Amino acid sequence: MSRQYFGTDGIRGTVGQAPITPDFVLKLAHAVGRVLKKTDAKPTVLIGKDTRISGYMLESALESGFNSAGVDVVLLGPLPTPGVAYLTRALRASLGVVISASHNAYPDNGIKFFSAQGTKLPDSWELAVEAALLDPPTWAISKDLGKSRRLDDAAGRYIEFAKSTFANDLTLKGLKIVVDAAHGAAYQIAPKVFHELGAEVISIGCSPDGLNINDGVGATHPEALIRAVKANHAHYGIALDGDADRLQIVASDGRLFNGDEVLYLMVNERLQRGEKVEGAVGTLMTNMAIEVALKAKGIQFVRAKVGDRYVLEELEKNNWLLGGESSGHLLALDKHTTGDGIISALQVLQAVQRSGKSLADLLGGVTLFPQTMINVRLKPGQDWKVNPKLAPAQAETRATAWQLRPHFDSRQRHRARRARDGRSAKC
């Protein structure tokens, strides 16, 4: 059975168009509830959301659908996606549900799920839900209906968890940080995390109105953060996306560091502390320079399909801890079960504070190769690998890459040697 509704990260689409309609979402929650009840007599589900205006409508539909199947619901209100994952595990819930379309604009929304362990669910579970959607509903009788309640301190619990991932012997005192929450789920949480760890915080993108999520701010629009960092003479800028599972970070000079560079930094920081790191996972889109730099340090590198769920699968298969995507989805499984923009930022700042070096200095051993991403639209189900119109471009790209690789490999080794010797890494 092929998936009809689930994509790489739940179900997503334009609000008011199938499948993001209240009637379908109610039916979806009922089907999920029936799947849960096959293994749990009285399931409890947590529901969190970002700041889109459609979140109210979809939250109500989900709540009714779960209750109708005999599932209890705990409403968390606006909360980052990784916050829902954390609380699902901490509160021993059966399932976590997030209403969000991540980095998309407000007309879109979506539904994604976390297991009781706070991890993304496998394809087999999604197929079971899609099969249940084909069956007629089985409404619970009145005495078996689910109940709902609201968890008032959800944000506070998650703030304390995020802070706990930062080293106890370190502080952010002395740092001025611009925090851009994309008018999304972390608009109250992210500034508090960095402030309570000692930083002077300047907030942008923290005034949601239901319609402005990801609108010219956040991880997908870092230009606003770059301007704010320069204007306020800040040390660093941190940009999240609408559901705060993605990170972009900016240095005082306005230089933007992407997810590939942060992944390298997290690996290297652990090596500098004497920790063993056997390997790391990127995706098909990870810049080749990261693979070259990690292998030069004896670190195995594996590429997964695009999507943090596939990065997680490779990490679990290899029993590794660190992985991520260029877009800023980063996984540190010794800190959290899923990608978390706030926790990823704390890992970067921890490396900076512990070493006494700037972010640019810490990344002196790696220079990204020139890379361009181009989206090509294909019909659903079409295999791009055998597309005759793409074949010439693929062949040309491969030929050019192999011609340039020796030059960039040599340049990378040269920079790494100079960095180790304490000299300028410029060339």
Domains 11-153 and 258-366+394-416 share a fold: yes
Q: What is the pTM of this model?
A: 0.89
User: Once rounded to an integer, what is the mean pLDDT over residues 248-265?
Assistant: 97
CATH number attached to the domain at 173-256: 3.40.120.10
The predicted pLDDT at position 390 comes to 79
In the 8-state DSSP scheme, what is residue 240? E
CATH of 11-153, one of 3.40.50.2000, 3.40.50.720, 3.40.120.10, 3.40.50.300: 3.40.120.10
- Distance of alpha carbon 31 from alpha carbon 89, whole angstroms: 22
Confidence of residue 426 (pLDDT cuts 50, 70, 90): very low
Q: Is the pLDDT of residue 422 over 80?
A: no
> Side chain identity at 4, as an amino acid letter?
Q
Identify the weakest region by mean pLDDT among 153-157, 200-204, 208-212, 384-388: 384-388
The predicted pLDDT at position 154 comes to 98
Q: Is the pLDDT of residue 148 over 90?
A: yes
> Side chain identity at 333, as an amino acid letter?
L
- Distance of alpha carbon 154 from alpha carbon 158, whole angstroms: 6
Task: Give 159-186 as a DSSP string.
Answer: HHHHHHTS-TT---TT-EEEEE-TTSTT
> Between β-strands 330-332 and 322-324, what pairing exists: parallel, antiparallel or unpaired?
antiparallel
The predicted pLDDT at position 423 comes to 43
- pLDDT tens across 5-29, in order? 998 889 999 999 999 999 999 999 9
Q: Is the pLDDT of residue 374 over 80?
A: no
In the 8-state DSSP scheme, what is residue 8? T
Q: What amino acid positions are annotated as catalytic residues?
A: 102
CATH of 258-366+394-416, one of 2.60.40.1180, 3.40.50.720, 3.40.50.1820, 3.40.120.10: 3.40.120.10
Tokens of 31: 């089907």
What ranges do the domains of the chain cover? 11-153, 173-256, 258-366+394-416
Q: Return the closest-CA partner of residue 47 out of 186, 170, 198, 151.
A: 151
The predicted pLDDT at position 413 comes to 53
